Amino acid sequence: EVQLLESGGGLVQPGGSLRLSCAASGFTFNNYAMSWVRQAPGKGLEWVSVISASSGSTEYGDSVRGRFTISRDDSKNTVYLQMNSLRAEDTAIYYCAKWTSSGWYIGSYFDYWGQGTLVTVSS
Amino acid sequence: EIVLTQSPATLSLSPGERATLSCRASQNVNNYLAWYQQKPGQAPRLLIYDASYRATGIPARFSGSGSGTDFTLTISRLEPEDFAVYYCQQRSNWLTFGGGTKVEIK
């Protein structure tokens, strides 16, 4: 059974930093790209970032590029999201999601999701 | 950026009725479109990929159709557990989600 367990969320002041983790199990982690998707309270889904299976390629959404960094540790079956220079508009539930392919390929989708971790940016 | 517009925003139906949800893309996404279901307090779940293929374990009452810029998710007969928010997503050019359609009990 595929499981994705996020952690690291919490309350942080504007301008602060936070590191999210996602521990994966139930599939061959190093064969798949992994992603982060967020959802502001009462709002829709927004893709944040993706990292390919080889860790050689990363992509970011416009709203987080330059502030957030995605990484992965295949020895720990874990993907991370380092979030710097946080803003109030970054407040959201952050979901870790497994990609259906090894890379940022056209025609790929999110086939498994974690339950999410809440990040609140407020003074 | 490809914009996905979902309609209607809210669909009020009774159990047993047919639900038809629309997703329109601002540019051609070929068939690279997926549908997700999200219930309150839960993570999204993949229902349909490549516009018309059901994901593993998804009941046959869910079907997807369309190509290019116009797509439809159909739930043939609504079950009580189908009342939720549905999102479309494209991975043809970058990645975007639609704004969602809420299917609520009438």
Q: Is the pLDDT of residue B28 over 80?
A: yes
Is A53 near chain B, with CB under 8 Å? Answer: no
Which residue in chain A is spatially nearest to B41 when comparing CA positions?
A115
What amino acid occupies position B104?
E
Q: Is the pLDDT of residue B52 over 90?
A: yes
pLDDT in tens, A52-100: 997 679 999 999 999 999 999 999 999 999 999 999 999 999 999 999 9
Q: Is the pLDDT of residue A2 over 80?
A: yes
**What pLDDT was estimated at residue A55?**
66
Quick check: helix, strand or coil at residue A88? helix
Inspect the interface and report whether the beta carbons of B46 and A95 lie closer than 8 Å. no
Inspect the interface and report whether the beta carbons of A45 and B44 lie closer than 8 Å. yes
pLDDT level of residue A105 (50, 70, 90 thresholds): confident
Q: Is the pLDDT of residue A20 over 70?
A: yes
Chain B residues within 8 A of A45 when measuring between CB atoms: 36, 38, 44, 87, 89, 97, 100
**What pLDDT was estimated at residue A107?**
83
Inspect the interface and report whether the beta carbons of A44 and B97 lie closer than 8 Å. yes
* Euclidean distance between CA atoms A63 and A77, whole angstroms: 27
Q: Which of A47, A107, A113 sits opposite B32 (nearest CB)?
A: A107
Average pLDDT over residues A106-112: 91
Token pair 């991975």: residue: B91
Residue by residue, what is the 3-state secondary structure of chain B? CCCEEEECCEEEECCCCCEEEEEEECCCCCCCEEEEEECCCCCCEEEEECCCEECCCCCCCEEEEEECCEEEEEECCCCHHHCCEEEEEECCCCCEECCCEEEEEC
* Euclidean distance between CA atoms B38 and B89, whole angstroms: 13
